[in-house]
Amino acid sequence: MSISDYLSGIMHAGSQIMQIPTIGCLIVLTLLVSFCVGWLVVEFFAERRHFKINHVETIARMRASDFSSIGDIIRESALLADQKKRLLVVVDNMGLRDDELYALAQIEIAKGERMYKRRVNLTDMISKIGPMLGLMGTLIPLGPGIVAMGQGKVEILSQSLLIAFDTTILGLVSAVVAMVISRFRKTWYGQYSTVMRSLFMCILDEAEAAREKGVQLPFQAEGHTRKDLERAREQAAGRDTALRNGHVSGGNAASLHDYAAQGAMIASGPVQDAMAASMAMQARDAQGAVDFQPPEVGAFAAPFGAEGRA
């Protein structure tokens, strides 16, 4: 036996060994897609169907009421339970310094978007792996089938073709369904992120206004919030260090004055208030050269406080 025949035998044995694992992985992917379809249906009826909120109107209610009733407005809104929880963490700690409260809001947004990203990553992975496994399941049995055709063994050929077609169909169907689920979820989560950013900016703006009036704001760091608060203070300390070291460009300083001037020219009203809140947050960003965006944030929307720069 020549070296070429020996190597060919090794390759053939290796490819045939992969047939059963490939079919097994395709079956697992099919079951995962079925689970994701059920999960999407449950998510629609349990969450998405109830997500009926005009965030501009909610912002107007927050601005028209006393700061102490902001928490009640959030609890009575049609926001999702997880969204209310994250907003209330910031509302219950409005007594923090301005930069610490801003960093805490960033952390809460990051936690929510990481959860959304994990959900989307599963179906994104299936949509990419499914066609690859389908192709492998198609090519592996074709080799023995072609050999059998040359030997006149039609039964073996037909069995090989059946396996090839079945694996191709499973891989493609899994990928298509997973891609559709990812598309739905990215649309939903993008809307959730936009609404959350607008509401967080309004809360921060109201906290700053109350602080300027000398109002005593709440501070209730408990449980996991205490860890988030420590991270927020670390980020705020990093911002202060950057400012002390003079890492503020002239462009950022100019942007600060531009945003302040634009905000002063905006008339009152719910839509205008939302725009003014956005400008105020961008002005805060312009004060520091370092963007303290936590990792893995911004998968579904622009970085917090950077909507106007996109």
Q: Tell me the per-residue pLDDT of 195-215, one tens digit each, with 9 for 90 and over.
A: 999 899 988 888 888 888 887
Q: What is the pLDDT of residue 240?
A: 55
What is the per-residue pLDDT for 297? 42
Mean pLDDT of 111-117: 91
- Rounded Cα distance, 224 and 105, in Å: 14
Say what the pLDDT of residue 245 is.
56
223-235 average pLDDT score: 61
Residue 310 has pLDDT above 70, yes or no: no
Give 217 or 162, the one with higher predicted confidence.
162
Confidence of residue 127 (pLDDT cuts 50, 70, 90): very high
Cα separation of 175 and 167, whole Å?
12
For residue 296, pLDDT beyond 50: no
| pLDDT at residue 69, rounded to an integer | 86
**Given this model, what pLDDT does residue 277 score?**
45
Query: Rounded to whole angstroms, what are the CA distances from 105 to 24, 75, 207, 243, 294?
Result: 44, 18, 12, 21, 11
Residue 291 is predicted with a pLDDT of 41
Q: How confident is the model at residue 171 (pLDDT cuts 50, 70, 90)?
A: very high
Amino acid sitting at position 199 = L
What confidence score (pLDDT) does residue 169 get?
94
